[in-house]
């Protein structure tokens, strides 16, 4: 064996197991990079660097480097309480956070400490990472793993994560590693201006991982990712009920089950009313967007775990049948290939309904599926408002979800190709009034990708305006940009010195070192664009 010194000054011995672990980790990250080519180099580098097996020492090396979650703690009934998350999912969430050296990060859900180690690598020695968990056994384990692997500067706290950490606030980034019923008001209050929150949001019996940005009213989602985590415990644990019928049927709902499980089972044994909707899904059938749409529109959705021989025609997602109950009837989705001779072809969505009122329920869900098809090109947008906010479900497919601490409006973006950027009141008004025709930004990845013809949707609080990009001019620095561009077209109300001072206050040295872009823009003529309210 030979000696090895890492960046933290820890001297260790390289063994055959170390070499095997490195080879397995390299192969795992290579597969992740191939499957998710959009992942950034810094994220992939830290996943290559941090020894995942050291955070699950009780499992063998091969298991530690499978791209899957590993349950590390269960309750007396066998229900999962803690785990180390799936590496590819963690990598995508780290990318959604858009971390930079020096960031202060709060993680809700400590797990084994593995994710906190990745966060520590990304924010560097000038950053700060605190991870919180409600379970003292979990925090003790995470603390041991982090200390043993050179990450003692990560703060591990045993507390209810719903409360966040006011002592460390404001946080530049908050990562929630548990499935949460809603963003806790404490998380929103403790998020720094311009900060970002990434979390798995529970929507009935499914979850979606969302990247939120802070707004004047609360939060607005930027990205949506399919996936899920173990449910949050503590003050904000979501409602849940389960029931079994015999030894093979397991029902579960968020809240009360809509009907008596034995009655549901009896209905499902009868002949269904079938409606084939004409809604097509391209192979291999990305139906998860349809499930999100149906979930937010049908609070009576439940799941059924059953053998494959039970309801063989039912669409199963993640091994479960998703049922909808309404007015004493129940229904589920089905798929059939458009070309029966070629299973790898597009599919048509069907609705099978049972019980009294089955025909009406089938027709209603079929109409919902057709409505979703017109919106399927767009990701849903989630806006989080205070509990007392007076908001309406505006737009096609929009719905307002009332949670314990908040109201969440879900809508489907009519312009999914528009690039979203946030503005303060003054520049927003100047663009709206035609007095500002150049927007200045750091030349980060998002702005480097801008091209003439792109659309931008600027947001300011609950207001939006839409513009067309006429030209994008790139500069090595903001100083060189102002030597060339007309400062009055950037902000006619402020001198060049005042504008540069504002840029220095907005961007840290890392962002300024990327250079600058001048985005020449023009308001769109769409009457619902510049003056529309979100």
At CB < 8 A and 24+ separation, what contacts does 301-304 make?
301/204, 301/205, 301/253, 301/325, 302/205, 302/251, 302/252, 302/253, 302/257, 302/258, 303/205, 303/251, 303/252, 303/253, 304/249, 304/250, 304/251, 304/264
CA dist 27 and 66 (Å) reads: 10
| Catalytic hit among 82, 85, 221, 334 | 85
| Nearest residue to 203 (alpha-carbon basis) of 276, 290, 263 | 290
CA atoms within 13 A on the CB side of 281: 25
Three-state secondary-structure class, residue 295 = helix
Neighbour-count burial for 146-173, b at 16+ CB within 10 Å, e otherwise: beebbbeebbbbbebbbbbbeebbebbb
Chain CA centroid to CA 335, Å: 27
CA atoms within 13 A on the CB side of 480: 12
The pair of three-digit structure tokens given for residue 177, joined into one six-digit string: 């590693």
Q: At CA 188, angle to CA 185 and CA 193, rounded to 5? A: 155
Phi, psi of 192 (to 5 degrees): -65, 155
Neighbours of 511 (CB within 10 A): 16
> Is 85 a residue of the active site?
yes
Three-state secondary-structure class, residue 352 = strand
CA atoms within 13 A on the CB side of 57: 10
The pair of three-digit structure tokens given for residue 307, joined into one six-digit string: 């053998």
Q: Which residues are catalytic?
A: 85
């Amino acid at each position: 064996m030979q000696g090895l010194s890492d960046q933290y000054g820890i001297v260790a011995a390289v063994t055959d197991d170390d070499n095997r672990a490195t080879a397995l980790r390299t192969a795992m990250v290579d597969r992740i990079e191939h499957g998710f080519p959009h992942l950034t180099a810094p994220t992939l580098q830290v996943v290559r660097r941090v020894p995942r097996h050291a955070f699950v020492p009780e499992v063998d090396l091969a298991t530690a480097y499978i791209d899957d979650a590993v349950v590390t703690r269960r309750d007396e009934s066998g229900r999962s309480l803690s785990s180390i998350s799936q590496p590819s999912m963690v990598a995508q969430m780290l990318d959604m956070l858009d971390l930079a050296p020096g960031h202060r990060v709060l993680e809700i859900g400590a797990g084994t400490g593995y994710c906190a180690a990745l966060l520590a690598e990304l924010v560097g020695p000038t950053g700060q990472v605190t991870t919180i968990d409600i379970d003292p056994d979990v925090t003790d384990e995470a603390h041991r793993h982090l200390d043993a692997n050179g990450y003692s500067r990560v703060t591990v706290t045993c507390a209810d994560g719903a409360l966040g950490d006011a002592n460390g606030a404001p946080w530049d980034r908050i990562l929630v590693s548990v499935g949460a019923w809603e963003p806790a008001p404490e998380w929103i209050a403790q998020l720094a201006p311009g900060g970002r929150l990434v979390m798995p949001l529970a929507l009935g019996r499914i979850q979606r991982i969302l990247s939120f940005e802070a707004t004047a009213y609360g939060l607005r989602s930027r990205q949506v990712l399919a996936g899920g985590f173990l449910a949050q415990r503590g003050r904000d644990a979501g409602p849940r009920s389960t029931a079994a019928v015999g030894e093979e049927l397991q029902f579960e709902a968020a809240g009360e089950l809509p009907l008596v499980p034995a009655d549901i089972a009896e209905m499902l044994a009868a002949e269904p009313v079938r409606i084939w909707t004409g809604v097509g899904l391209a192979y291999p059938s990305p139906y998860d967007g349809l499930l999100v749409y149906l979930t937010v529109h049908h609070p009576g959705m439940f799941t059924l775990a059953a053998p494959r021989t039970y309801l063989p025609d039912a669409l199963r997602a993640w091994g479960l049948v998703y049922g909808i109950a309404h007015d004493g009837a129940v229904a589920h989705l089905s798929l059939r290939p458009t070309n029966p001779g070629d299973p790898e072809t597009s599919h048509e969505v069907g609705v099978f309904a049972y019980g009294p009122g089955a025909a009406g329920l089938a027709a209603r869900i079929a109409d919902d599926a057709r409505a979703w098809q017109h919106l399927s090109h767009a990701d849903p947008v989630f806006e989080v408002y205070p509990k007392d906010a007076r908001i309406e479900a505006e737009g096609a497919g929009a719905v307002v979800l009332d949670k314990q601490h908040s109201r969440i409006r879900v809508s489907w973006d009519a312009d999914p190709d528009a690039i979203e950027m946030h503005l303060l009141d003054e520049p927003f008004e100047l663009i709206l009034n035609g007095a500002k025709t150049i927007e200045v930004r750091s030349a980060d990845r998002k702005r480097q990708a801008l091209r003439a013809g792109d659309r931008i949707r600027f947001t300011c609080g609950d207001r939006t305006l839409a513009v067309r990009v006429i030209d994008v001019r790139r500069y090595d620095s903001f100083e060189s940009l102002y030597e060339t561009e007309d400062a009055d077209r950037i902000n006619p109300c402020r001198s060049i010195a005042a504008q540069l001072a504002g840029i220095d206050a907005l961007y840290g040295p890392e962002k300024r070192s990327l250079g600058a872009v001048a985005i020449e823009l023009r308001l769109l003529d769409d009457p619902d664009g510049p003056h529309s309210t979100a």
